[in-house]
C-alpha cells in the first residue's frame, strides 16, 4: 500500500478544518484570504526580527502554508500539479536567474 502524500492531501485536510471551524471559502473572501497569507508572513518576519526562537518563526510560516492551502482549495486548484510544473520551470532556469543586484 502506497502511503505517500501529495500537496492536495494537505489542501483537503485544511479545507476540512476550515469548513468545520466556520471559515468560509466563498469567492468574495479571496481578497481577505490573500491578506491573511500576507499577515502570517509578516508575523514570521517580525518573530525573526525580534530574535524569537526559530520554532516560532516556523510556526508562523506553517500558518502561512495553511492559509495558502485554504486559498488553493477555494480557487479549486490542483496544488500538486502546480507545484510540480513550477519546480520544473525553476530547475530549467539559469543559475541565479533575475538577480541583477546579487541575491545572496
Q: Model pTM? A: 0.88
- Give domain status of residue 13, yes or no: no
Residue 49 lies in a domain: yes
- pLDDT tens, position by position, 56-98: 999 999 999 999 999 999 999 999 999 999 999 999 998 878 7
What gap in Å lies between CA 98 and CA 103, rounded to an integer? 9
Q: Is residue 16 part of a domain?
A: no
Average pLDDT value over all residues in the chain: 93
Does residue 55 form part of some domain? yes
Owning domain of residue 75: 27-89
**Does residue 6 contact residue 80 with C-beta atoms inside 8 Å?**
yes
Name the domain count of the chain.
Answer: 1
Long-range contacts of 73-80 (CB under 8 A, 24+ apart): 73/11, 73/12, 73/14, 73/15, 73/18, 73/25, 74/15, 74/25, 74/26, 74/27, 74/29, 74/30, 74/33, 75/30, 78/8, 79/6, 79/7, 79/8, 79/10, 79/11, 80/6, 80/7, 80/8
Residue 18 lies in a domain: no
Amino acid at each position: 500500500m502506497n502511503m505517500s502524500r501529495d500537496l492536495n492531501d494537505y489542501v483537503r485536510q485544511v479545507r476540512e478544518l476550515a469548513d468545520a471551524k466556520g471559515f468560509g471559502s466563498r469567492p468574495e473572501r479571496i481578497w481577505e484570504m490573500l491578506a491573511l497569507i500576507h499577515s502570517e508572513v509578516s508575523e514570521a518576519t517580525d518573530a525573526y526580527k525580534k530574535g524569537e526562537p526559530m520554532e516560532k518563526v516556523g510556526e508562523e510560516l506553517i500558518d502561512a502554508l495553511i492559509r495558502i492551502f485554504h486559498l488553493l482549495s477555494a480557487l479549486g486548484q490542483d496544488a500538486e500539479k502546480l507545484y510540480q510544473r513550477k519546480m520544473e520551470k525553476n530547475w530549467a532556469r539559469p543559475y541565479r536567474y533575475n538577480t541583477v543586484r546579487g541575491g545572496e
